[in-house]
Structure 1
Amino acid sequence: MVMFLFLVVALAVVVGAVTLAVVGGGEGRGPLPDAAPERLRDALPADRPVARVDVDALRFPLAVRGYRMEDVDDALNRLAAELAERDARIADLESALAGPRTAAPGGPEGQRDAEGRLSMDKPLPGEHP
């Protein structure tokens, strides 16, 4: 019975000492410093357009309740801006490509129908009718 009481008291002293050390009692150092929040390590590249491998490699650090909203918002804003830029570039290229197509006449080899296909009403140069 004496040994049991000794073990209980010793356990209480050890738990108390560990608790005081963790919460800042003891040597006057104060409480443990707050851990720095984990930050996004491999952000999207700033010096070139985002590629598929960049998005595949993107991993957000976990926060207390999920992901850090700031990191996710930054990545989504960057991707949205680049997608909008690419869409505008594609639209410009398509309109530039469509311009010469609509302006080009049917040419000597035939007339174009309403759908833009060539109709071969006229013989090709060098062909006999």
Structure 2
Amino acid sequence: MLMFLFLVVALAVVVAAVTLAVVGGGESAPLPEVAPERLQDPLPADRPVDAADVENLRFPVAPRGYRMADVDDALGRLGAELAERDARIADLESALAGARAAATHAHPAPHARPETGEGQEDQR
């Protein structure tokens, strides 16, 4: 029984010592406030985003995951650029279809070979 009591007291002392070490024991000043970590390399503002920019994009970790403002800004930018590219692709495809249609109507393809022309011999 005496040994059990000694182990309980020793365990309480060890737990108290670890708790004081973690909390700081009141001997030192409290830790200074640190500014929240921000996105170091945001998406470039002076040119369109390319695949390498997206691959290199790393969000800083916040206490509960990622900073929502950084993620929302990046996703908003990517969404806007993708919408712009999709509109540009649609415009170019429609212009290409119009150019092909105009070329087809201006120069109809012959369906049959002409009877007279170069390379044909006169059969008299």
TM-score w.r.t. structure 1 length?
A: 0.65
- Relative distance call for 1:126 and 1:74 in structure 2 (3 A) is farther
Letter in 2 for 1:59: R
Q: Which has the higher contact order (CA 8 A, sep 6+)?
A: 2
Identity %: 61
CA distance in 1, matches of 2:64, 2:114: 74
CA distance in 2, matches of 1:47, 1:38: 24
- What 5-or-longer segments of structure 1 have no aligned partner? 1-7, 25-30, 111-119
- Once the two structures are TM-superposed, the CA of residue 71 in structure 1 deviates from its matched residue by 0.5
Letter in 2 for 1:58: L
The residue that corresponds to 1:89 in the other structure is 88
TM-score w.r.t. structure 2 length?
A: 0.67
CA distance in 2, matches of 1:100, 1:61: 49
- Once the two structures are TM-superposed, the CA of residue 126 in structure 1 deviates from its matched residue by 3.9
Secondary structure of the structure 2 residue equivalent to 1:35: coil
CA distance in 1, matches of 2:53, 2:73: 14
- Once the two structures are TM-superposed, the CA of residue 122 in structure 1 deviates from its matched residue by 4.1
- Relative distance call for 1:108 and 1:60 in structure 2 (3 A) is closer
CA distance in 2, matches of 1:75, 1:56: 12
Are positions 1:20 and 2:26 aligned together? Answer: yes
- What 5-or-longer segments of structure 2 have no aligned partner? 1-12
The residue that corresponds to 2:112 in the other structure is 121
Letter in 1 for 2:79: A
CA distance in 2, matches of 1:122, 1:66: 72
- Once the two structures are TM-superposed, the CA of residue 106 in structure 1 deviates from its matched residue by 6.5
Secondary structure of the structure 1 residue equivalent to 2:25: helix
- Relative distance call for 1:122 and 1:47 in structure 2 (3 A) is same
Aligned length: 104
Structure with bigger helix share is 2
Where does structure 1 differ by over 6 angstroms across 4 or more consecutive aligned residues?
none
- Once the two structures are TM-superposed, the CA of residue 62 in structure 1 deviates from its matched residue by 0.6
Secondary structure of the structure 1 residue equivalent to 2:80: helix
